[in-house]
Amino acid sequence: MLPLSLLCLLQFFPVIISQAVQPQIVFYSQTGCKGDIVRDDRGSTTFPLNQYRFESYNYTELWLIQPCNSDNILSCEIPIPKKGIHVCIDSNFQDYSYLHLSRRSDDLIQNKINLYSGSRLNGTHDSLTTDINRKNLTIHSLFFTGNYSWTIFEGEEYSGKSYCIPADESTYETGFGATMRLHLNVTMGSLRQGCHGEDVIPTEKPIDEGGTTTTDGAMFSHTNRFWNFDNNPCGLIWINDTNHKQIPIPLKSVSITASVVHAVAQVEITQVYENSENNPIEASYIFPVDSNGAVTHFQAELDGKVIKGVVKTTEDAKRDYEAAIKQQKTAFLGEETKPDVFHLKIGFLKPGALAKVVIGYVTEVKNDADSHAIRFVIPTTVAPRYVPPSDHDQKSDDLANMTFSSTSPAPLNIKVVACIQGEIKSADSLSSHKILVKSKGTIPEQPGWNKAVVTLVGNVTEMDRDFVLLVTPLEAVMKPRVYYEILENGSLAAMTHLIPSFALKEEKVELIIVVDRSGSMGGQSIRMASAALQLFLHSLPTDCYFNVVGFGSSYEVQFKEGSAKYGPESLHYAVNSAKCISANLGGTEILEPLQHIYSRPSIPGYLRQIFVITDGQVSNTEQVISLVQQNAHNSRLFALGIGASSSRHLVEGMATAGGGTCAFVEGDASIQKATLSQLKNALQPSLTDIKIEWMGIRNPQRVELNTEKTLFGYNKPVEPEVKGSKFSQSPKNIPPIFDGSQLVVFGIFPPGQDRPSGVKLTANSPDGPLTLNIAMNETNLLGSTQMLHKLAVIKLIRELEIEGTMTASAIKDEIVALGVEHGITSKYTSYISVDDLAPTELHFGPMQFRQIRPQSLHYPVAFDVPSSCRRKMARRCSPTEDVCDGPSDRKHHYAYKSNSSLKLQADSKLIKNASSSATFNSSVFMESNSDDENDETSSSPPTTRAQRVLSIVNLQSFDGSFQLTQDLCKLICLSYEEMKAEASKQGWNTAVWATTLAISCLIMTDLKDEKDSWDLVVKKAEKWISQTCRDTTALQVIKESAIAFYIKSGMLAN
């Protein structure tokens, strides 16, 4: 017998209980699936509507429903996919003569794609569930379910022009993730799961009544009188089944406030939702948070009532959420999809209801690369993530199924209050957001502290790039400090903050540069990567080995048989390849190229350093970070994140796990600085075996036991036991320290325990131990905000997530315990809020699912491969040519002989089809595009100082020297004939003279402000001069002569 509670529920819900769900569609004479049953269909059919009058229908399993103007299916509208178990729909088909029903469960299963010879899913069709590398088909429509995207290749073996069809949430209200393209005209030679295509086939756009339109591409078009879609500023609409009107489901507004205190920030996001539909909805919004922190506060306000969230295990939170929806209660679920991605779901938001959700997180704030400025980031968009075919978990599916809008989902408001000790020099936006510094000055109640209040200018709607704020202190050096807070219960949390400064001798290294060449790197990002790679290569020390690996869906190794010795041949070849690099390798599969690198033996006497340049848009972040951590004992990893929305979780996670550092760039102005800072760290040994002693805290002493076998005292302590203070430290294992890279260490000291008076840091270096004492000061007291307590626990959780010595169950148990106790989300804990009031009225209409689409990324500058690259590559040029270079009288042209010991070969390894070809192909790192071969071959002259510096740097030889050429003299703005005559007159070595001129130009002219670009280049050049010319007097004369020429030309900077 059913329980009484369930029997009561059955009075209000049209529930059908049966032993098995059968495919069925039932039509009723009244709305709400009431009244008489007019028809009951169990299979595909077409019937005249004038013989069957009905007002509603419900269905089980999967159906395609097409209203038609005749019994010919070609007259039917686009099919409406429907799937569910007795979902009731009110119908309105009075404008049509026939209704076509198609039972599709047999051929439309999960992760199967159906390819049709006719449009609108008609004609003969092929059903495929996996990749196929040889299949000759002409496709006019397709349909697939599941979470994978698919790519159609016109040629066999995944060759020729390719088209990606991304998996999307169907605009036709399927409710189960169906994807359709109903009017295509493409010939297929092969098919592959995943998005690997050059072009993306967009979602079809139905138009105004009676009209005909084409989509953004010319591949397909169709007529449709049943739907009318416009661009909606909210990014969300649904089509009412009764009157076909567009009804917006807006995210009304997003407001972000942040309080930044040196290296820690507390951020609060307020989102306002409103349901303007006639049915309850479930709203789903995936948005970014800072991966250096975690969500610590969650509450909802529903029609004026505040509902505070509680942290539970993710399984329990989801169970409570589903249970609340079944009881028609509004519920709010907040879970961590990735450390940098948060998923909010609002279930059963009733018609007309207004909900305000407040989400707070605490995060670490990093310093800008190689400086003491504070770099504060507020992520505002989730970039599309490449999901490898091997990822099948629900969170990866959520990322794979995300769709994006060209417009912002809601207006955005940001306010930041930044507080530091000492004066604030400036507050600047690095993300092209226009800001207003409303106030800047001292904090009266906090002597020695200053603050700046920053807001956005005007009504901002763009959420297509992260907000990046740079707060620069007036003091040139940020002093080491210990900040602390004391809660009302007496608990004390302390944060040791240090930006270390030291210099050690460079060590011999093998540098492997891993460059992201996936499709998401197109445009601005690949141009930045090209510039960074060229600068990187020229800045390498003369005694090193190096290699370059490009990756996407496949990966390509520049020197197949192992890293090459740095020299004129290898540098010339690598730089020319870097100039023509392109984003042409499909998805972002970084795991496999890293596995390849780690599988190779290291070079004796040279420490392997891996340098990754990426926008980091992948879903299998944890696998990548785990791999890096497993190999950290023999390889350090440094990472450079490029682009407005690079994945900070991946970039920072790899660097932390690999014992290296990371940096981020959003524009040309910072690319050189970040690149050189990372290279300096890679060339210097880090400080390791870091120890921190909390001064004033008694540490438990080792107890010596009595080993004498006596009846009085055997196995007892020799001396009375001295108990130490119990406290928590995070991270427990302090990572290596690098010059200029921020270090923070937290300690939590419970009530009633000893309190620290300061810290003592000790680190090992090749020159011996280095130490630092930092005293605690009352001016560093931050009150009782809980910011430090929360961030300390977050760091403990993040450290546990990559823990390699504990069992998985033990790690999960400890993370859950910490998350539940301190109210912090993690991969195992989520927030849940439920309106516990019983519904005053029950809603019989189906709950509609509404996904809020984040705005697609902002790419400010389009980038094309230089025309000279395209011309050279179209001719399959030899690597001996100066690819992309203009006319040059450079003396060094390097030919590669067949018997050369340096083998310059390319290795292209596909995910599923490895290639073992050992022949060189000039297109390995370059995109082949034909151009007019009669065009001028000279590259365009540099137009900015940064471009001019890069052009000068590209003329430097591997050993640091420059040759006296017309190209060089043109760039340094001096006469070639005059410089050549001066060297001949004085009897100088022309290379020493040219190198001195180049150095003087970089140091003393308007290029001196570009030091971040040329610093290592100049040091290498100076080292070459000192080794080549031992006569210091002659060198001084040469330097003075160079300065005199620049004075004469009027080029010396003030």
Distance of CA 1046 to the CA centre of its chain: 46
The residue assigned the tokens 């951590």 is 629
Q: Quote the Cα angle for 1007-1011-1013, to 5°.
A: 95
The packing angle between helices 990-1004 and 945-953, to 10°, is: 160
Which residues lie closer than 8 Å to 14 by C-beta, 6 or more apart? 33, 86, 88, 844
Q: How far apart are CA 311 and CA 301, in angstroms?
A: 17
Distance CA(620)–CA(642), nearest Å, equals: 19
**Is residue 540 within 8 Å of 575, Cβ to Cβ?**
no
278: its two tokens: 């006639």
Model pLDDT, residue 117: 82
Whether the CB-CB separation of 945 and 669 falls below 8 Å is answered with no
Which one, of 113, 164, 132, lies nearest residue 912 by Cα? 132
Contact between 799 and 730 (Cβ < 8 Å)? yes
Q: What is the H or E stretch that residue 967 is in?
A: helix 966-972
> How many angstroms separate the Cα of 790 from the Cα of each of 498, 623, 825?
20, 27, 11
Please identify which residue in the block is written with the tokens 């590398």: 133
CB-based contacts of 705: which residues, under 8 Å, 6+ apart? 715, 716, 717, 718
Burial string for 584-614 (b: 16+ CB within 10 Å, else e) reads: bbbbbbbbbbbeebbebeebeebbbbbbbbb
738 and 686 in contact (C-beta within 8 Å)? yes
Helix (H) or strand (E) holding 30: strand 24-30
CB 1013 within 8 A of CB 952: no
Phi, psi dihedrals of residue 727, rounded to the nearest 5°: -150, 165
Q: How far is CA 174 from CA 80, 350, 678, in A?
A: 8, 21, 49
**Separation CA 897–CA 320 (nearest Å):** 70
For the chain, list the domains and their CATH numbers.
22-103 (2.60.20), 113-229 (2.60.20.10), 509-682 (3.40.50.410), 942-1054 (no CATH)
- The rounded distance, in Å, linking the Cα atoms of 357 and 377 is 21
1008 residue type, one letter: K
Q: How far apart are CA 123 and CA 74, in angstroms?
A: 11
Beta strand segments in 801-870, E: 829-834, 848-852
The 8-class DSSP code of residue 11 comes to T
pTM here is 0.64
Segment 1005-1011 long-range contacts (CB within 8 Å, at least 24 positions apart): 1005/972, 1005/1046, 1005/1051, 1005/1052, 1005/1053, 1006/945, 1006/1051, 1006/1053, 1007/945, 1007/948, 1007/949, 1007/952, 1008/1053, 1009/945, 1010/672, 1010/945, 1010/946, 1010/949
Q: Is the peptide bond before 731 cis (omega within 30 degrees of 0)?
A: yes
Per-10-residue mean pLDDT, the chain, length 1054: 31 31 77 83 79 82 74 58 62 78 55 79 77 84 75 87 71 48 84 72 41 31 29 37 49 91 94 87 89 94 91 96 92 92 92 92 86 86 58 63 70 92 90 84 86 84 81 87 93 93 86 88 80 88 93 90 92 90 83 93 92 80 89 90 78 89 71 79 84 83 69 70 68 85 92 91 90 93 91 93 82 94 95 85 73 65 38 34 33 30 34 30 34 38 78 90 93 92 91 93 88 85 89 89 88 72
Phi and psi at residue 440, to the nearest 5°: -155, 125
- Largest interatomic CA distance in the chain: 111
Name the amino acid, one letter, at 64.
Answer: L
Tokens of 36: 């008489």
- Rounded (5°) CA angle 295-297-303: 125
What element of type H or E holds 441?
strand 435-442
Alpha helix positions (H), 802-866: 808-822
CB 520 within 8 A of CB 617: yes
Contact between residue 63 and residue 84 where contact means Cβ atoms under 8 Å apart? no
CB-based burial label for 917 (10 Å; 0-12, 13-18, 19+): exposed
- The tokens of 926 are what? 């370059």
- The amino acid at residue 830 is S
Beta-carbon count within 10 A of 103 CB = 20
Q: How many CB atoms lie within 10 A of CB 646?
A: 25
Please report, to the nearest 10 degrees, the dihedral formed by the alpha carbons of residues 65, 66, 67, 71 taken in order. -120
Q: What phi, psi does 717 have (nearest 5°)?
A: -60, 140
Q: Which helix (H) or strand (E) holds 882?
A: none
SS3 473: strand
**SS3 category, 272:** strand
